[in-house]
Amino acid sequence: MQTELYLDCNATTPVLPAIAEAVMTALSLEFGNPSSSHMTGVRAKARMEHTRSLARQVMGASSGQVIFTSGATEGIQMAVISALQAAKHQPMPEQPLLLYGATEHKAVPNTLTHWAQLFEIKAEVRAIPVDQRGRLDLDFLAEHAGRALMICTMAVNNETGCYQDLKAIEATIRAHNPSVPWMVDCVQALGKLELELANTSIDYAPFSGHKLYAPKGIGWLYVRKGQPLTPVIAGGGQESGQRSGTENGTGIAALQALFEMMLQPDGPLASHTLQLGYRQRLIDTLQRAFPTLVFNQDHAVSVPTTLNFSVPGFSSKELMDLFDAAGIRVSSGSACSSKVTRSFVLDAMGLPAWQSESAIRLSFGPALQADELDTICQRINTAVAALATSCLLDSGTDEDKFGLKGLIQFKVEGSCCWLYVDPATDHCVVIDPLDSLNERLERLIRCQDLTPIAILDTHGHADHASSGTALRAALLDQIPAQYHAVDSLGWPQAATEKHTLHDHSQHPTLTLGQRRVLRAPLPGHTDDSVALLLTRDQSASPSTPENIEFAFCGDTILAGTLGRTNFSNSQPAALYHSLQRLHRWLGPDTLLCPAHDYQHRLATSLAAELRLNGLLAQVCQHTLSQDAFVTAKAELDAQLTDRPGTELLCGAFQGDGTPSQANEIDHLELEHWRAQGKTMTLLDIREPHEFALSPEPEAINIPLSRLMDRVAELRQLRKPLVLICRSGSRSLLASQSLRRLGLDGITHVAGGYALS
């Protein structure tokens, strides 16, 4: 395993050795309860008060209360409860507001909403807008501050590093509401900004130790002198009765060591000037590595320890997988909202959707050393070189490239695009192209020196024009001249040769190396829907169902459902007959490669769908009339709800009976299997550049994007198949998909390499 380079310090930080030593000393030698009157307790009490004094120095707060908490979230609760409790006993303004910055950590608006409801305070929780830099709209604040019961802002944003102009905010607030409680989240400011709280009218300021090299579970809250403070935890009266419970002595010892480190003039934490230098070097490295990279922040108003960027053509997950394989830990947006697919912070700043959806946050701490930075920059360059060998970036060199053969799947949210490359001739076809993938596909095709003979759609689209037109224009010099003239779905007008299927129907065909691509009408989802059938070879007509390896049927059959038929150009009755034709044309294990994959099944087959989709089974078994099908299909389509501004859903998910749990083992059991010499095939499904950066010698690398190309081969394996990836997410999806397709003996490694 390569050394981990940790660049996610805005999420949490490692505990520095000196701080860890202070914790161990407190655990073993200075473990007294500060409330005890014996000497051990007296020493613990003295350390706690000394640490409280150091906190005041760090914050620049000679007066006011310092209350030790479990972290910033608890401090936020204390501040909000105190402000709302005070508001209940004061005259209530008309249409009262609880204001917070639109880019604030979700802990703040969620806390405001929660406690306002419990206190039965009917105040609107409203976001203060920000500009494109992330700075608060002071005009909005001036207009609404007078009706505010509390105002919450943050010193430094956790995603972009944007710091607020606290003096300007204070002047605005106090000019329009001199006594309103003002809380400033100072979590990300610690060690990055000079704080002089005594010179401000900030009423509450929560802090968290684990954001700056102390352990998790310790923090503190600053409360300006004279401001109300309502205890949240009652009990034994610790912390002057404001926060009961035995104090966290080891956490406080850690803070003491941290504060002493921060107050050293020539201590181990980098100066602001040095941090700026580190940031610039990272900026230079990233911009050389990714020439099209876009920063999602204004560095002039951001702390130097945070970089937030997006790279056109790459999702945040792809970049995280790449950095992880290189041993560099970064995050996508906020670690506290890892399930969110886009950044609400960047959305609030008005940045384009693609930047919000693909953002990467790189954050280092002030303890970063110059030699670590050297290694980080080297690793970034190595990672990008691996991307270039996958043709995902232009390298400008003639270095060896990973081969691109067979079927490759591309996904953007629920949409699928397919590329098939003939291994012998390097001729290829693109099926169901997507705008957001055009640049990547063009780069891949040119980099691999492929010859595209067709860029095909399986149907016209109700809500957008075909992406194939632009891709075809971009690759026109690569496409053979006889295939330039095409129809509305991209089919070359010169491809008029007919080929016969098992039911004796004849269809136009394209020659693709040793295979054929047939186009057969498949009306239903739309009146122009077609099936594109890829044969295993060029055996003589008629092609048997077993000779059709892949069927690209667009939105006719999706995994777990049938394509919708309530568009103006849909034909529900025609779909009934199209499904029966597919049943005649295809073998049970022919892979159906859809245009949409909403449930992460990758692909499906007639065998799987007939087993799990009762409506389809009745149609194919001729136990349901056309009229009954049309009625049932209308009921299914009625479940779809289209929302303005969102992608149209092309099928209502029915539920397909796939077990929620896949066979899984952890890394310890995998090692036990290896030690026992258990018969198995270990399949690493990371992308080739990830595998090259951190290879597993005992594994076969079949990327998830190419897994469907190898299904027939995997069916023939006589050994149990064990799937592994970076974190276990992809291996879980792959194992579920393969099991759904009828493959047995599939196990995945939960947690993947991350837990090994």
Q: Which residues have a catalytic role annotated? A: 336
Q: How far apart are CA 558 and CA 63, in angstroms?
A: 65
Q: Are the CB atoms for 714 and 743 separated by under 8 Å?
A: yes
- Closest-CA residue to 746 (of 709, 720, 714): 720
What one-character DSSP code corresponds to residue 449?
T
28 Cβ contact partners less than 8 Å away, ≥ 6 residues apart:
none
The 8 Å CB, 24+ separation contacts for 673-676 are: 673/722, 674/698
Q: Where are the beta strands (DSSP E) in 303-444?
A: 306-310, 328-329, 360-363, 406-412, 415-421, 427-431
Residues near 363 by beta carbon (within 8 Å), at least 6 away in sequence: 7, 8, 9, 10, 11, 161, 305, 306, 307, 331
User: If residue 84 lies in a helix (H) or strand (E), which one and from where to where?
Assistant: helix 72-87
Distance CA 157, CA 168 (A): 17
Q: Please answer whether residues 542 and 584 qualify as being in contact, where contact means their C-beta atoms are separated by less than 8 angstroms.
A: no
Round to whole Å and give the CA distance between 288 and 285. 5
SS3 content of the chain, % helix, strand, coil (to 5): 40, 20, 45
Which secondary structure element, helix H or strand E, spans residue 230, and what is its range? none
Written as six digits, the tokens of 293 are 């990279």
Burial of residue 12 (CB within 10 Å: 0-12, 13-18, 19+) is middle
Q: Which of 618, 609, 701 is nearest to 656 (CA)?
A: 609
Give CA angle at 100 (95, 103), nearest 5°. Answer: 140
Q: How far is CA 147 from CA 78, 97, 142, 144, 181, in A?
A: 22, 6, 10, 6, 12
Nearest to 130 by CA among 169, 103, 97: 103
Q: CB neighbours of 746 closer than 8 A, spacing ≥ 6?
A: 662, 663, 720, 721, 723, 735, 738, 739
For 287-310, give the DSSP string.
HHH-TT-EESS-GGGB-TTEEEEE
List alpha helices for 328-369, DSSP H: 344-348, 353-357
- Alpha-helical regions (H) of 537-591: 572-585
Taking each continuous run of H as one helix and of E as one strand, the counts in the chain are 22, 30
* Residue 477 neighbours by CB under 8 Å, 6+ apart: none
| N- to C-terminal Cα separation, the chain | 9
Give residue for tokens 């956490």. 251
360 near 320, Cβ under 8 Å? yes
Q: By C-alpha distance, which of 367, 423, 418, 388 is closest to 192? A: 367
3-state secondary structure (DSSP) of residue 89? coil
3-state secondary structure of 684: strand
Token duo for residue 490: 């991209």
Calculate Rg over the CA atoms of the chain.
31
Separation between Cα atoms, residue 576 and residue 563, nearest integer Å = 12
